[in-house]
Amino acid sequence: MNICEICSIRVLSVLTSMNLLSKLESILFVASKPLMIVQLAKALDTSKEHISEALDTLVMKYNRDDSGIHILREAESVQMATNPENLSAIEGFIKDEVSGELTKAQLETLTVIAYRSPITRDDLEQIRGVNCSVILRNLMMRGLVDQYDSSEEILPTYVLTMDALAALGISEIADLPQFAELSQHEHIAHALSKEEDSDTVE
């Protein structure tokens, strides 16, 4: 094997590691819950050893005093979380977020969850066309949306809470207006699109 072939193999190895690191970082961010290393290895089609090595790199990257995000590892599980030192700032933000009326974006998100639950954040964002992570956290803090985790799935799903149903004056999701029609993905997306067009005309 000549020097060029050796260099090519090393470059490929570095690129593969960077790709794994990027994908792992993205999954930890969207999961918003502890994940088992074996789950991550299966999702990324790699070994537990490679996942552990990538996690070591992420810990070095994030677990610093000046970082707002930390990687928490306990036994065979891992989670991306906020820096504990920022608790007071986070609590103040949450207090401001849950007070006041729902915004148009929050109402739209609540509507999609109502008609399409249980729904993952990925599917929700595909329908709305925007990132919904902050909105989902706000709706959960208000007690309007619940997050359900499955040991077999990486991504959690979201549903309306009983408090949300009570506020709407119904006892089950099927009692929502035009539920059979609007519970289809295309109809929800179309309805939101028409509402957006109406706002633009105004």
Burial of 39 from C-beta contacts in 10 A (0-12 / 13-18 / 19+): buried
Write out the DSSP string of 121-137.
HHHHHHHHSS--HHHHH
- Biggest distance spanned by C-alpha atoms of the chain: 74
Non-local CB neighbours of 30 within 8 Å, separated by 6+ positions: 121, 122, 133, 155
pLDDT value of position 11: 32
CA distance 53 to 174: 47
Residue with tokens 């994030």: 62
Bond preceding residue 156 cis, omega within 30 of 0: no
pLDDT value of position 111: 87
pLDDT value of position 188: 62
Per-10-residue mean pLDDT of the chain, 202 residues long, equals 43 53 89 86 90 92 93 90 88 71 87 87 86 88 86 80 84 82 66 51 38
CA distance 99 to 114: 22
pLDDT value of position 70: 93
Alpha helices (H) along 32-103 = 37-43, 48-62, 87-98
DSSP 3-state of 148: strand
Q: What are the tokens at 52?
A: 């552990």
Q: Which domains does the chain have, with CATH numbers?
A: 3-84 (1.10.10.10), 100-201 (1.10.10.10)
Length of the chain: 202
pLDDT value of position 138: 87
| Strands across the sheet containing 145-148 | 119-120, 157-160, 145-148
